[in-house]
Amino acid sequence: MKVRISDIAQILLAHAAKSAFYLDPTSGELLEKSAVPSEKGHAYTLLPMLAEIQNITICWEYTEEIEEPEIRHELQSILRRDEQAYELPEFIEVLHYHGLEEEWETYKEAHLQDILADWCAHNRIDYTD
C-alpha cells in the first residue's frame, strides 16, 4: 500500500510540533504514539516533527519569491533576527498585514509535501501524492 503524502502533511500541519506520529508503512495508517500497539511498535516509523522540517530555509525560499522589495526586506530582516526559531509569530504577523498569509500557507504545504516525498524515499516507503 502506498502512503499519501497529503495525508501526512495534513496531520503534521494540524498538530504542528505538539505530538509524535507514527506511520505503518504497510497499511499507511498514521497513529499518535499512545495509539501504537506495543507489540507492533517496531513496525511503525516515526514521522519527522514539523518543527524539524518547517525551518528557516522554507521561510527564506518563500521570501525570495516575493516581488515587492520592501516586503521581502521586512520579512528577511525578521528571519535574520530569529534564525533559531521554528515558530515565527512576527513573520506570520507581517504576512497577515500584507495579505500574504494564504499564499504562504499554500507555499508551505507544497514545500512540506516535497520534503515528505524525499523523507519517504529515504525511508523506502511507497508513497503517492
pLDDT one-digit tens code per residue, 85-112: 555 788 889 999 999 999 998 998 888 8
Rounded (5°) CA angle 59-98-108: 30
Query: Cα separation of 87 and 119, whole Å?
Result: 22
For residue 49, what pLDDT is reported? Answer: 74
User: Taking the CB of residue 33, how many other CB atoms lie within 10 A of it?
Assistant: 12
Q: Which residues of the chain have a pLDDT value below 70?
A: 1, 16-18, 41, 50-55, 82-87
Helix axes 89-97, 101-122, angle to 10 degrees: 130
Residue whose C-alpha is closest to residue 76's, from 91, 86, 89, 87 = 91
| Per-domain residue ranges of the chain | 3-48, 52-115
Q: Helices 56-64 and 69-81, interaxial angle, to 10°?
A: 160
